[in-house]
Amino acid sequence: MGLSEDPDLQPVLFGLFLCMYLVTVLGNLLIILAISSDSHLHTPMYFFLSNLSWSDICSTSTTVPKMLMNIQTHSRAISYVGCLTQMSTFTIFVCMDYMILTVMAYDRFVAICHPLHYLVMMNPRLCGFLILVSFLFSLLDSQIVILMILKITNFKSVEISSFFCDPSQLLNLSCSDTFSNNIVQYILGAVYGLFPISGIFFSYYKIVSSILRIPSSGGKYKAFSTCGSHLAVVGLFLGTGFGVYLESAASHSPRKSAVASVVYTVVTPMLNPFIYSLRNRDIKGALRRLHSRRV
């Protein structure tokens, strides 16, 4: 459906989204490059951060380039196979983001609540296993959504109320067997929504309890500063996600729902590198050293 029918606005939208996409890709690539090139950052926390940055690049790359091409060609059509492919890859990487943020909350919990056992508990084998499990869970979520979409038969010449093949919009096209679709969506919401967010809240409950027991204010600040960036990214991710959901549920304007989804799918991945680079002293130091090496 796109974001606007106004032809005069199309060049503005093209320039805006091209800039946002380039900032997202370059910003996250810089984070990955800084972490991989600095041996001081070869720790579990930054291993997870580099995977989060890679997932952000992939999730944005599934939607924005196609939208830019649509603006240039003045065509918003997408094939059946292309729509399923875009929806599948988008679901994988957005779910991957969520899973990695949950794993990062557990990492911060171990680092602050069990500092003496941190390197033993968060060993490289476990870190790799957690990323693999996150990917497999995301893949499973994507395949379940695909199976639900494949049951929809009225897929010819339909208009999707978004700027990409949004799974939530596609599921609304179903006119038959909506009860079973709703049941599956509730189960997916519980497994992929409630459990991870419960894990994040539990981890931070334990973290805050441990920080409050630290006697000095300097120690409290130092402990909290190690998870401040992660907390900001979690708040941004969940806040925009719930905001888009509420906007879609409350608004009867498809165009407003499409605009709201931009914040969730494009703006959030773009802001993540800024949050980590501005709030994290280690990342800032690694970027400075990387720059001085190139100069």
Instruction: Express each pLDDT in 155-184 by its tens digit.
Output: 667 777 778 887 777 776 665 556 666 677
Q: Which ranges constitute the DSSP H helices of the chain?
A: 10-37, 44-61, 64-73, 80-113, 118-121, 124-150, 167-171, 178-189, 195-212, 217-250, 254-262, 268-279, 281-294
Rounded-to-integer distance, Cα 129 and Cα 164, Å: 32
131-142 pLDDT, tens per residue?
A: 999 999 999 988
- The pTM of the full predicted model, rounded to 2 decimals, is 0.86
* pLDDT at residue 118 is higher than 60: yes
Kindly indicate the confidence band of residue 125, based on its pLDDT and cuts at 50, 70 and 90. Answer: very high
How many Å separate Cα 227 from the centre of its chain?
Answer: 18
Q: Is the pLDDT of residue 29 over 60?
A: yes
Of 125 and 75, the one with more pLDDT: 125
**Which residues lie below 8 Å from residue 135, measured CB to CB, with a gap of 6+?**
92, 96, 99
Percent of the chain with pLDDT over 90: 22
Q: Is the pLDDT of residue 291 over 80?
A: no
pLDDT confidence tier of residue 246, bands split at 50, 70 and 90? low
pLDDT digits (tens, 9 = 90+) for 187-232: 777 777 788 888 889 998 988 888 888 887 777 777 777 777 888 8
Q: Is the pLDDT of residue 249 over 70?
A: no
Cβ neighbours for 258, distance < 8 A, ≥ 6 positions apart = 1, 2, 3, 161, 162, 163
CB contact set of 259 (below 8 Å; sequence gap of 6+): 3
